[in-house]
Amino acid sequence: MAAPDGWRHGCVAAGCAGEPVASADRPFDGRAYNGAMSRRRAPLRLAGALCAAALSVGALLSACSFEERIVDGVEDALTDGPFYAVPTSFPAAEPGSVFRSEPIPEAPDGTKAWRVIYHSEDVDGGDVLVSGVVVSPDRKAPEGGWPIISWGHPTTGISAGCAPSLGIDPFDLIEGLSRFVTEGYVVAATDYQGMGVQGQSNYLIGEPSGKDVLDAARAARGIRGADAGDELLLWGHSQGGHAVLFAASAAADYAPELRLVAAAAAAPATDLATLLDDDIGTVSGVTIASYAFEAYSTAYGPTVPGADLERILTPAGAAATPKMAELCLFAQNGTLHRLAEPLVDAYLAGDPASTQPWASLLRQNSAPAAIPVPVLIAQGESDTLVRPETTRAYAGAACGAGTALRYLSIPGAGHGDVAVRALPDVTAWFADARAGESQNECANLPR
């Protein structure tokens, strides 16, 4: 059973982890999904609810610690499944080709669902395998197939065990799933490279992240029974918003067989140097930075001189970063906090915005402004992670670059609930775009 569209980001929103990304009843961490494990949901959801309900700092940390022990115990009970185990060498195939798929027995009511491993491209253009989930309406498809929404999820971590598709309920993090399937969309949800299938992370690395999103849609079309057509819409939140903006920019050249209609992003990571500067003085900021610096140093370190942790981090920061990168944001938040807290104000050895090669890498991977299809940007005015002023600045740059844009400001929304609160506008935006009726509201952009 999928979480309702109105779920909240529970434990993480309450402050027991970094970026608010998790529902109160959804554990992320695990080695492999097993449908027979559904009987274990009750203790996990109880733990999540305790974490979300904690009112004092002491109670909050206690509840989160309890949740972590419960989740870790269930993870230990799971049997390693063969689905995510892939050979180190495999035949090359076109991006989006399905390498492996399997039905998910406990698909939400009215749907059919699959786990999928598909081919994509890494930061160097090499063939890489990526996992994800595809969900389709369980009814007769229209002529030409169902339109596809390719979803980019918010941060869950960067290691293999942090993939949303590994969850006991792998659908919980797909914001708007039940609404989209009811309205007649296939939903493709990538895990991103390095999660689910072991490999190098592309966390906040724009081009390969966008390819992950596009190739998930291609993979949906390759699954027999999904009945996916060639019409595509893109939807993402936070890290996923960043990936979606890159996907929207690249789609016409990279995946010309897909008819991209529109994109929507909630609180997207846009100007990466500004995001880092805004947040680095908090535990959340150090946590997210550790994921990014580990991904960047691994991806760029072999070919870009100076793209190593020691160039930009303090010795303590460089030592802690690989350890933090192994941990998932939700299930292992207690350990993440213990590592991150001593590094607040003691993580960076220099300013990444002015220290090369980091300054160039951050600019290179900041969100593109020119998008050739209509874009909706949703931003919570109470978001303290992705700040409203940063998102407004990006929206202004996008309008200046000729993007047809609607900027949706949501008073009182924070980082955790902005995507859920934006859903009615997102679905209407998609419907209008499909009908050729999207309005360019750049003239009304808030200043």
Rounded mean pLDDT for each run of 10 residues along the chain, 447 residues in total: 32 32 32 30 33 30 36 36 88 96 93 97 97 97 97 97 92 95 97 96 98 98 97 98 98 98 98 95 94 97 95 97 95 92 96 96 98 98 96 97 97 96 97 94 86
Q: How many CA atoms lie within 13 A of 236 on its CB side?
A: 33
Contacts of 144 (CB under 8 A, 6+ apart): 229, 230, 231
Contacts of 362 (CB under 8 A, 6+ apart): 272, 273, 276, 352, 353
**Does 153 lie in the same domain as 97?**
yes
Note whether residue 335 is domain-resident: yes
Tokens 């229209």 identify what position? Answer: 142
State which H helix or E strand residue 186 sits in: strand 186-190
pLDDT digits (tens, 9 = 90+) for 313-370: 999 999 999 999 999 998 898 999 999 999 999 999 999 999 999 999 999 999 999 9
Return d(Cα 243, Cα 201) in angstroms, integer.
Answer: 13
**Does 143 lie in the same domain as 70?**
no
Note whether residue 37 is domain-resident: yes
Return d(Cα 325, Cα 162) in angstroms, integer.
Answer: 10
**Does 238 lie in the same domain as 216?**
yes
This prediction has a pTM of 0.85
The range of the structural domain enclosing residue 59 comes to: 10-77
**Does 293 lie in the same domain as 381?**
yes
Which of 77, 94, 119 terminates a domain? The answer is: 77
**Does 366 lie in the same domain as 317?**
yes
Contacts of 148 (CB under 8 A, 6+ apart): 185, 186, 187, 188, 217, 220, 221, 228, 229, 231, 232, 233, 258
Note whether residue 113 is domain-resident: yes
**Does 89 lie in the same domain as 43?**
no
**Does 107 lie in the same domain as 70?**
no
Which of 26, 55, 77 terminates a domain? The answer is: 77
**Does 125 lie in the same domain as 47?**
no
Please, are residues 110 and 82 in contact by the beta-carbon 8 Å criterion? no
Note whether residue 356 is domain-resident: yes
Note whether residue 3 is domain-resident: no
Q: Under the phi-then-psi rule, with left for phi > 0, alpha for psi from -120 to 50, and beta for the rest, what region is 176?
A: left
Structure tokens at 435: 């009908």
Q: What pLDDT shows up at residue 81? A: 61
Structure tokens at 256: 């010309």
Q: What pLDDT shows up at residue 330? A: 85
**Does 52 lie in the same domain as 28?**
yes
Which of 338, 441, 333, 389 is CA-nearest to residue 63?
333
Q: What's the total number of domains in the chain?
A: 2
**Does 269 lie in the same domain as 213?**
yes
**Does 126 lie in the same domain as 54?**
no
**Does 59 lie in the same domain as 200?**
no
- Sheet of strand 98-103, all strands in order from the earlier edge strand to the far edge: 98-103, 111-121, 127-137, 186-190, 146-152, 228-237, 259-266, 375-380, 405-410
Q: Under the phi-then-psi rule, with left for phi > 0, alpha for psi from -120 to 50, and beta for the rest, what region is 96?
A: left
